[in-house]
Amino acid sequence: MVQTVAVVGAGVSGLAAIKCCLDEGLQPVCFEMSDDIGGLWHYKENIDKDRTTTMKVTVANISKEIMAYSDFPPLAVYPIFMHNTHLKDYLHRYADNFNLRKHIHLNTKVIQITETEDHKTSGQWCVKYQNIQDNKVTSEVFDAVMVCTGVFGKPVMPTFQGMETFQGEIIHTREYKTSKNFEGKTTLVVGLGNSAVDAAIDISEVAKQVYISSRNGSWIFGRLGPGGLPGDMLMLSRVGFYLLKKFPSLLNKLAMSQCSKKLNHKLFGLNPKFSPLQSNSTVNDMLGYKLLTGEIKMKPGVKQICGHCVEFVDGSKIDGIDSIVCGTGYLPDFPFLDSGVIDVDKSNMYLGMFPPDRKVHTLVVIGCFRQKGPIIPVTEMQSRLATMVFKVIVLSFRFVDQSNLSREPTSCLEVTFIFEKFLC
């Protein structure tokens, strides 16, 4: 019978997980390695090798009403697109409003999560965690586990021929906080995702010159949409997703048309190789201006590096590069779990949440794989489903007993079916 639930991480996913556990009458215990809640949005200027935080200039890419928790609207005084300080304040208000803090252990790192000896019948997990302040290690058994460590897990660093010869500094955007050490430098940013472009624009305010290198290009969406409204209000809706499902080609053409009205992608070398809905597009309103003024210049993919010289796949070269910032993304990372428990390939996870091969579904990941749409509502819906499944596992045992069946439900689909049966 599921009662106690270990929640790993107290960011947007972890807070939703705690709240949904309480809604279902479960007993959550949350472990957060940082000194405060907020996860990604708990900005710290000092680099932490174990966690990712925003840059100082980071602003949310989704408008506040669309990205909010369903039962806790943001304050009216917040800007439509919230700066990371506003988002952190919002998360603190959410935690206080639903009295979540008493369930959270700060400065506590989960070291290992393993199956108990009777896991096949109980579904329980042994969680080993360490208090970072006094290094005390404790083990505790929980009926279920919700992994809420987010999508920004393990930084992906590219490898280029001659990279070891580079005489400047090479960092990942995970290590980038401010433009403090880039004054007067010529900087190459590798990647054209949201973090890469944010870093490039911030650096361009103080640098001698900034270049962005991209292999596949990207469509650039603006926060400001037609009629002066937030652009995501038109796209991220039930109608929008219905049209996307029924008429994907039409939606791609409309998206490309809207992007092209604001920025000539071909003229400035953005050259997206995929349609907007086939790739992770970039949201930024400043890149077009920076390209127009020449503060940022586009380059194709990097071919090789030699000293301070970088050669690109089109044969062009730039000499005098002082620093390279790699905005090349992240991979999911679960260092506290055995590799066989969770497959880091999202396509193998049921709803991006459940490891499909497990017999008893008492372990889920929340918000650890990229989904379509704003992250906070997605994590809230995932947490609701997960806690319902935890509850229905108890019901499924009763259902099995009453039906004189000789087995337990063997898939999330079957558990969900049983849950729907009890609802009816």
- Give the number of other CB atoms < 10 A from CB of residue 420: 10
What crossing angle do the helices spanning 12-23 and 84-97 adopt, rounded to 10°?
20
User: CATH number for the 4-153+332-423 domain, one of 3.30.420.40, 3.40.50.300, 3.10.20.740, 3.50.50.60?
Assistant: 3.50.50.60
Average pLDDT for residues 294-310, to the nearest whole number?
96
Residue-level pLDDT at 406: 39
Average pLDDT for residues 289-316, to the nearest whole number?
96
CA distance 261 to 221: 10
CATH 3.50.50.60 residue spans of the chain: 4-153+332-423, 156-329
CB of 11 within 8 A of CB of 379? no
Q: Which two tokens stand for residue 26?
A: 């479960």
- Backbone Cα Rg of the chain: 23
Average pLDDT for residues 70-85, to the nearest whole number?
96
Residue 346 binned pLDDT confidence (cut-offs 50, 70, 90): low
Q: Which amino acid is at 237?
A: S
CA distance 11 to 232: 23
The dihedral over CA atoms of 219, 223, 229, 234, expressed in degrees to the nearest 10, equals 50
* Tens-digit pLDDT profile for residues 350-388: 888 998 888 888 999 999 988 777 899 999 999 999 999
Residue-level pLDDT at 114: 95
Helix, coil or strand: residue 382: helix
Name beta bridge partners: 274.
none
The dihedral over CA atoms of 411, 412, 417, 419, expressed in degrees to the nearest 10, equals 120
Evaluate if residue 407 carries a pLDDT over 90: no
Indicate the fold that domain 156-329 takes in CATH: FAD/NAD(P)-binding domain (3.50.50)
SS3 track for 189-231: EECCCHHHHHHHHHHHCCCCEEEEECCCCCCEECCECHHHCEC
Residue 1 binned pLDDT confidence (cut-offs 50, 70, 90): low
Residue-level pLDDT at 225: 81
Evaluate if residue 403 carries a pLDDT over 60: no
Nearest to 38 by CA among 108, 75, 114, 91: 91
Evaluate if residue 415 carries a pLDDT over 50: no
* Tens-digit pLDDT profile for residues 13-53: 999 999 999 999 999 999 999 999 999 999 988 888 788 99
Burial of residue 122 (CB within 10 Å: 0-12, 13-18, 19+) is middle
Lowest mean pLDDT among 76-80, 181-185, 269-273, 304-308: 269-273
C-alpha distances in Å from residue 184, one per residue of 168, 194, 197, 202, 369: 14, 24, 19, 13, 38
Average pLDDT for residues 118-130, to the nearest whole number?
92
* Tens-digit pLDDT profile for residues 158-215: 999 999 999 999 999 999 999 999 999 999 999 999 999 999 999 999 999 999 999 9
Residue-level pLDDT at 193: 94
C-alpha distances in Å from residue 203, one per residue of 187, 207, 224, 265: 8, 6, 23, 22
CA distance 150 to 343: 15
- Give the number of other CB atoms < 10 A from CB of residue 95: 22
Nearby residues of 89 by Cβ (< 8 Å), 6 or more positions away: none
CA distance 402 to 319: 75
Whether the CA torsion 157, 14, 241, 54 is positive or negative: it is: negative
Average pLDDT for residues 398-415, to the nearest whole number?
42
Residue 250 binned pLDDT confidence (cut-offs 50, 70, 90): confident
